[in-house]
């Protein structure tokens, strides 16, 4: 197979470098070997116990990436089964992502938050393998102390001597991480720095609590935790002192957005298409909300959950209800292992199994001034939002753990490259199940909460698109989010708004734009299969087949389901180095 050589760039570093010799391979097992080695390659190099993201290390990574792209290019997949070719393009897209990180995104030199210990879906962080694992062994009790407000000394951690030595070694490396960060961040963006300054307060507090919890039994390790806190504190001060020298905006521009969508998420759409879809969905959400409000104008207000017990009671009832609804209506297969309690006993930490053991006293956290829009609509009608989380996300994760088709397919996706699939499916469930009747036996005004939720998605997606195009900065995006959210249910200064804007801006290709366009693509595929199969179309079979492909870009799922690969860029497009 001849492929345009341009592909990817992604996270961060290397264990080995492949030789420059030709790589001859034609079997699927060869592809698996290339993929497995590429995943190891993405982990950072270490120098003196510190992950190395210096310009020299990054150049070595890029050189190694090009060799691996050449090795992938040497594999001829023309005679493979479709599912195997899909896996090939999945690997190709991941390499494309890494290429994009090197040539365009460059988080190690542009994004101060890249050097955070805490990863997540809010943006790229150091790919350092198990480097932080010795610290993370105490992360849960330390974070619980922070959340509960208890005195750190009450924790009084006791650690095995071997584990303590590993932990202290990592803590002693932390100052070097942030010293190197200051040297590497030669093109930092101010909006990225604003996120980092907020986020690193959490890491400072983490190390401070860790120090106090270790002080009695492990004083040397406690001192190392104190030094780590000081190092992060100096880093934050450096960011504050240098913000004025940084580029104001952090977006990558429409052309780069388009390349990422086509070559990493393998979407047929780009910025203009996505923006049009999102604007149309916003029009529809507001129109349907107003129609529902008019229809329900004489109905009494919805009950509002104001205690922990009331909220958890509605959650449990809703999740069992929707699970039974999906099964009884033959909308999708509900496997024997599906158990709503997996979600509601896990949600937010260790939740008591018995409702009567959950506090039923008034809780100030449920007051309007203390809740964000996600909580506000769930307090009134919890089913669509928690269906998104349980049926849409938790079952996805549990299904992924059971996926056996291939080691490539079952591996977690890097670079947020499947966000259209992940969020598109979960968001589709919110409205499509309402159309299927899931709210018919619940209070009529609950449908208003559905359209409030859809409007909330748009209030995040519209700023996402504008930041990506560098039309607005972070502060303007937060203000816009609050401005276009109905009922004044969002404030620009809320923590959740900062977090969601961070998810938008720190992920190439955005995040909440994918939420909306992922739903649009799912509905497009639904319509295509319904028309193709006509009277033989069965919703349950369609959904089961869709889910069986795993967490991969939806155009690849479409290829498997229909045999049509015409929407996918099959040869990676050229990508030039971009300078803000």
State pLDDT tens for residues 248-288: 999 999 999 999 999 999 999 999 999 999 999 999 999 99
pLDDT digit string, tens, across residues 392-421? 999 999 999 999 889 999 999 999 999 999
Give the least confident one: 108-122, 158-172, 412-426, 515-529: 108-122
Instruction: Report d(CA 177, CA 159) in Å as an integer.
Output: 24
pLDDT digit string, tens, across residues 125-183? 888 888 888 988 888 788 877 776 666 566 677 888 888 999 999 999 999 999 999 99
Residue 38 · residue 95 · CB < 8 Å: yes
Beta bridge partners of 47: 50
Instruction: Report d(CA 7, CA 193) in Å as an integer.
Output: 29
Which string of DSSP letters, residue by residue, matches 387-414? HIIIIIIIHHHHHHHT--S-HHHHSPPS
Average pLDDT over residues 531-555: 97
Average pLDDT over residues 342-347: 84
| pLDDT higher than threshold 70 for residue 368 | yes
- Alpha helix ranges (H) inside 243-346: 254-263, 271-295, 308-328, 341-344
Residue 288 · residue 296 · CB < 8 Å: no
Residue 249 · residue 473 · CB < 8 Å: yes
pLDDT of residue 141: 81
User: Percentage of the chain with pLDDT > 90?
Assistant: 84
- Name the nearest CA neighbour of 429 among 548, 556, 513, 526: 526
Kindly give the pairing relationship between strand 50-52 and strand 45-47.
antiparallel
Instruction: Report d(CA 86, CA 32) in Å as an integer.
Output: 13
Mean pLDDT for all residues in the chain: 92
| pLDDT higher than threshold 80 for residue 5 | no
Q: The tokens of 463 are what?
A: 């700023």
The b/e string for 492-518 (b: 16+ C-beta within 10 A; e otherwise) is bebebbbbbbbbbbbbbbbbbbbbbbb
Instruction: Report d(CA 418, CA 553) in Å as an integer.
Output: 5
pLDDT: which is higher, 38 or 5: 38
Residue 410 · residue 551 · CB < 8 Å: no
Average pLDDT over residues 44-60: 95
pLDDT: which is higher, 8 or 272: 272
Question: Which element (helix H / strand E) includes 209?
Answer: helix 190-214
Length of the chain: 580
The phi and psi torsions of 50 (rounded to 5 degrees) equal -115, 130
Going by C-beta distance under 8 Å and a sequence separation of 6 or more, which residues neighbour residue 245?
Answer: none
pLDDT digit string, tens, across residues 376-385? 999 999 999 9
Residue 275 · residue 465 · CB < 8 Å: yes
pLDDT digit string, tens, across residues 482-504? 999 999 999 999 999 999 999 99
Please state, as a whole number, how many other Cβ atoms lie within 10 Å of the Cβ of residue 270: 16
pLDDT of residue 13: 36
What letter would DSSP give residue 333?
-
Q: The tokens of 403 are what?
A: 């996926």
pLDDT of residue 138: 85
**What sign has the CA pseudo-torsion 199, 200, 206, 209?**
negative
Average pLDDT over residues 353-367: 93
Average pLDDT over residues 206-232: 94
| pLDDT higher than threshold 70 for residue 514 | yes
Average pLDDT over residues 503-515: 96
Residue 64 · residue 18 · CB < 8 Å: yes
Residue 387 · residue 429 · CB < 8 Å: yes
Residues 224-231: contacts with CB under 8 Å, at least 24 apart: 224/168, 224/171, 224/172, 225/171, 227/171, 227/172, 227/174, 227/175, 228/171, 228/174, 228/175, 229/204, 230/175, 231/174, 231/175, 231/177, 231/178, 231/179
Instruction: Report d(CA 172, CA 164) in Å as an integer.
Output: 12
pLDDT of residue 145: 75
Instruction: Report d(CA 509, CA 516) in Å as an integer.
Output: 13
User: Percentage of the chain with pLDDT > 70?
Assistant: 93
Instruction: Report d(CA 491, CA 311) in Å as an integer.
Output: 23
What letter would DSSP give residue 487?
G
Beta bridge partners of 46: 51
Average pLDDT over residues 26-35: 95
pLDDT digit string, tens, across residues 448-460? 999 999 999 999 9
Q: What 3-state DSSP class applies to 32?
A: helix
What letter would DSSP give residue 105?
I
């Amino acid at each position: 197979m001849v492929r345009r050589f341009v592909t990817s760039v992604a996270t961060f570093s290397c264990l080995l470098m492949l030789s420059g010799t030709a790589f001859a391979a034609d079997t699927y097992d060869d592809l698996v070997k290339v993929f497995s080695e590429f995943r190891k390659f993405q982990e950072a190099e270490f120098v003196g116990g510190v992950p190395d993201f210096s310009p020299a290390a990054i150049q070595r990574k890029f050189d190694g990436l090009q060799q691996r792209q050449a090795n992938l290019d040497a594999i001829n997949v023309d005679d493979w089964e479709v599912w195997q070719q899909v896996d090939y393009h999945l690997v190709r897209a991941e390499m494309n992502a890494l290429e994009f990180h090197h040539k365009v995104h460059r988080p190690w030199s542009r994004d101060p938050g890249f050097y955070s210990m805490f990863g997540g879906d809010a943006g790229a962080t150091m790919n350092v393998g198990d480097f932080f694992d010795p610290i993370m062994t105490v992360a849960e009790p330390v974070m619980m102390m922070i959340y509960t407000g208890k005195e750190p000394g009450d924790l009084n951690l006791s650690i095995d001597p071997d584990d303590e030595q590993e932990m202290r070694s990592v803590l002693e490396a932390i100052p070097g991480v942030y010293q190197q960060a200051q040297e590497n961040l030669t093109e930092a963006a101010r909006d990225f720095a604003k996120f980092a300054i907020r986020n690193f307060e959490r890491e400072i507090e983490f190390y401070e609590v860790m120090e106090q919890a270790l002080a009695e039994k492990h004083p040397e390790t406690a001192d190392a935790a104190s030094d780590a806190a000081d190092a992060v504190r100096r880093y934050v001060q450096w960011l504050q002192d240098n913000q004025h020298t940084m580029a104001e905006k952090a977006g990558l521009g429409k052309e780069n957005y388009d390349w990422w969508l086509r070559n990493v998420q393998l979407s047929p759409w780009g910025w203009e298409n996505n923006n049009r879809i999102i604007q149309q969905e916003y029009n529809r959400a507001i129109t349907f909300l107003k129609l529902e409000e008019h229809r329900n104008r004489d109905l009494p207000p919805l009950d509002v959950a104001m205690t922990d017990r009331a909220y958890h009671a509605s959650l449990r009832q809703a999740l069992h209800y929707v699970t039974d609804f999906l099964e009884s209506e033959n909308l999708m297969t509900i496997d024997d292992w599906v158990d709503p309690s997996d979600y509601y006993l896990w949600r937010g930490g260790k939740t008591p199994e018995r409702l009567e053991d959950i506090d039923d006293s008034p809780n100030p956290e449920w007051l309007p001034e203390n809740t964000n829009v996600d909580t506000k609509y769930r307090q009134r009608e919890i089913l669509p939002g928690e269906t998104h989380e349980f049926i849409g996300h938790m079952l996805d994760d549990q299904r992924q753990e059971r996926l056996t088709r291939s080691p490539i397919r079952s591996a977690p996706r890097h670079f947020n490259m499947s966000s259209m699939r992940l969020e598109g499916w979960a968001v589709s469930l919110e409205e499509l199940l309402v159309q299927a009747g899931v709210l018919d036996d619940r209070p009529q005004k609950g449908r208003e909460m559905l359209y409030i939720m859809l409007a909330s998605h748009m209030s995040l997606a519209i700023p996402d698109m504008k930041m990506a195009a560098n039309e607005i900065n972070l502060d303007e995006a937060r203000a816009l989010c609050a401005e276009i959210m109905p009922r004044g249910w969002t404030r620009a200064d809320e923590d959740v708004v900062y977090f969601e804007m961070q998810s938008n801006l720190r992920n190439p290709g955005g995040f909440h734009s994918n939420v909306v366009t992922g739903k649009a693509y799912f509905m497009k595929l639904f319509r295509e299969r319904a028309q193709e199969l006509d009277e033989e179309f069965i919703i349950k079979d369609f959904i089961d087949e869709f889910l069986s492909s795993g967490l991969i870009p939806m155009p690849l799922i479409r290829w498997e389901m229909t045999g049509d690969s015409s929407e996918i860029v099959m040869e990676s497009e050229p990508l030039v180095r971009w300078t803000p």
